[in-house]
């Protein structure tokens, strides 16, 4: 299986910069931050040798099977149950059986074939989702947020929406399914969810199965610590960057600003130092879905999914469908091409999770400041919906810093931010309503004609 690298991005370290809203100049040239112009680069990798856990399966048994029948199936692969996963969202959807994470003595692909039988409904590898990073060590200052400023022809025109008084609402919430987030970053403090239903007291007060999930949950580490980078900022950079594009604070005299000046962001961390797995992705999606259905007042409109890898999982697709039933959009990066970083056609070679056909999925390609489809960006006339800014994107990173990244990972939070911005002025909007608004307002763009379903790029000027 070929690996889909959804979050190959370029980090250019920076020092704190002061941003004056609307101060971006039309003659800004993002190629000045192009890592190919740097004198030296250091490549670091978060990938693993395989795109699934070698000796694990996720198994869903058919309803009504006895424990003896399940054990007989497991015996065929030398399998033992590592974990039973039965989320609150599954239970609410009428599934009281859940799924099983199974360690087996056979290779996952061999075990998948051998476990098939009358007892088993679904057996899948536990796919790994991950990203690579190319780090440039040149430091410089910048205040150029071309993806947001209407002064740039190919940006999202967020500043036009702001000028019309549409700056977001704290009551509108999105989930970031990714790495963790530095929740106390100066540009994010107050924008990250603090759980009012479960105070820190060692008790699961709201009964959702997670004790003291104060800002969300770390499904990779199975704890409530959504930020693990410390003051050195050694991890959770990507998730923090995504969060900043969606909703970094405005008018605080430092750093950057997000698509929304006011918003609430929940962290559902499932990507750790070695990537993330299908099993933990399912838990993360269901966690956000359960929060919305459990707490009627939570207006969760979307999740941002700047990740991918592995093959198609019907069990993950089922979790995305549970989110759809709860009117939560699943906004996903189209992918950053093949191992050489050259964009691929998702119509021909599927890239997951963006290729799932659930009605709530929006798949996002990346464009540069000239409006061109980024060379690394995947595309697809039927499988990718629109383009958004994804080259030279400045945002928050850990620890208390800022950096410029490239990738469909960076384009995706522009669209997630757009979903929240539209929802802030359309009370009671459904996922379908928001998706229709986003796709119906795109600006036709020649580089995206025949390459995306809409043939256009993100435009929130009328939001």
Would you name the residues annotated as active-site residues?
A: 178, 238, 409
Alpha carbons 30 and 15: distance in angstroms, whole number: 17
Which residues lie closer than 8 Å to 241 by C-beta, 6 or more apart?
393, 395, 396, 397, 403, 405, 410
CA–CA dist 126, 91 (Å, integer)? 22
Which residue do the tokens 């709201």 mark?
206
DSSP H helical ranges for 255-306: 278-294
CA neighbor of 13 nearest in space, from 134, 177, 144, 174: 134
What span, in angstroms and rounded, lies between the C-alpha atoms of 44 and 27? 33
Reading the block at residue 16, the tokens are 């704190």
Q: What are phi and psi of 11, to 5 degrees?
A: -105, 125
Q: Which two tokens stand for residue 395?
A: 């945002």
Q: For residue 409, what is the enclosing H or E element? A: helix 408-423
Beta strands in 106-192 (DSSP E): 120-129, 132-140, 168-178
- Alpha-carbon span 62 to 271, nearest angstrom: 30
CA–CA dist 291, 119 (Å, integer): 32
Distance CA 295, CA 339 (A): 42
Cβ pair 183, 189 in contact under 8 A:
yes
CB 343 within 8 A of CB 310: no
Q: Which two tokens stand for residue 247?
A: 């909703």
Q: Which of 333, 410, 320 is nearest to 364 (CA)?
A: 333
Residues with Cβ within 8 Å of 444's Cβ and at least 6 positions away in sequence, in order, are 455, 456
Residues 325, 332 contacting (CB under 8 angstroms): no
Q: What is the DSSP letter of 111?
A: H
CA 234, distance to chain mean position in Å, is 20
| H/E segment holding residue 219 | none
| Strand residues in 130-232 grouped as ranges (E) | 132-140, 168-178, 216-218
């Amino acid at each position: 299986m070929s690996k889909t690298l959804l979050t190959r991005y370029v980090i250019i370290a920076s020092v704190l910069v002061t941003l004056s809203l609307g101060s971006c100049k039309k003659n800004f040239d993002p190629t000045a931050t192009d890592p190919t112009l740097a004198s030296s680069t250091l490549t670091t990798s978060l990938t693993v040798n395989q795109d699934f856990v070698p000796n694990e399966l996720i198994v869903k048994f058919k309803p009504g099977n006895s424990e003896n029948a399940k054990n007989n199936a497991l015996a065929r692969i030398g399998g033992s149950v590592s974990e039973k996963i039965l989320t609150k969202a599954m239970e609410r959807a009428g599934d009281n059986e859940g799924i099983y994470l199974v360690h087996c003595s056979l290779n996952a692909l061999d075990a998948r074939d051998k476990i098939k039988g009358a007892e088993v409904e679904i057996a899948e590898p536990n796919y790994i989702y991950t990203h690579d990073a190319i780090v440039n060590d040149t430091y410089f200052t910048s205040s150029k947020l071309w993806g947001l400023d209407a002064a740039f022809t190919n940006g999202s025109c967020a500043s036009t929406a702001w000028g019309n008084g549409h700056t977001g609402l704290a009551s509108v919430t999105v989930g970031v399914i990714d790495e963790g987030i530095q929740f106390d970053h100066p540009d994010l403090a107050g924008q990250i969810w603090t759980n009012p239903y479960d105070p820190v007291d060692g008790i699961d007060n709201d009964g959702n199965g997670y004790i003291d999930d104060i800002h969300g949950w770390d499904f990779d580490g199975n704890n409530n610590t959504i930020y693990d980078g410390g003051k050195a900022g050694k991890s959770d950079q990507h998730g923090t960057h995504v969060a900043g594009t969606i909703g970094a604070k405005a008018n605080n005299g430092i750093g950057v600003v997000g698509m929304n000046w006011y918003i609430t962001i929940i962290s559902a961390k499932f990507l750790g130092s070695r990537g993330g797995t299908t099993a933990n992705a399912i838990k993360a999606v269901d966690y956000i879905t359960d929060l919305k259905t459990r707490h009627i007042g939570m207006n969760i409109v979307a999740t941002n999914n700047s990740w991918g890898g592995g093959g198609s999982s019907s069990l993950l697709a089922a979790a995305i469908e549970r989110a759809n039933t709860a009117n939560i959009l699943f906004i996903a990066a189209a992918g950053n091409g093949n191992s050489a970083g050259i964009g691929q056609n998702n119509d021909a070679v599927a890239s997951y999770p963006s290729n799932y056909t659930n009605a709530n999925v929006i798949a996002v390609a990346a464009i540069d400041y000239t409006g061109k489809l980024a060379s690394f960006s995947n595309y697809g006339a039927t499988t990718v919906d629109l383009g958004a800014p994804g080259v030279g994107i400045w945002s928050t990173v850990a620890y208390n810093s800022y950096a410029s990244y490239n990738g469909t990972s960076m384009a995706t939070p522009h669209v997630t931010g757009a979903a929240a911005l539209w929802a802030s002025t359309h009370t009671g909007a459904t996922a379908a309503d928001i998706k229709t608004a986003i796709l119906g307002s795109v600006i036709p763009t020649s580089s995206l004609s025949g390459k995306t379903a809409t043939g256009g790029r993100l435009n929130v000027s009328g939001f």
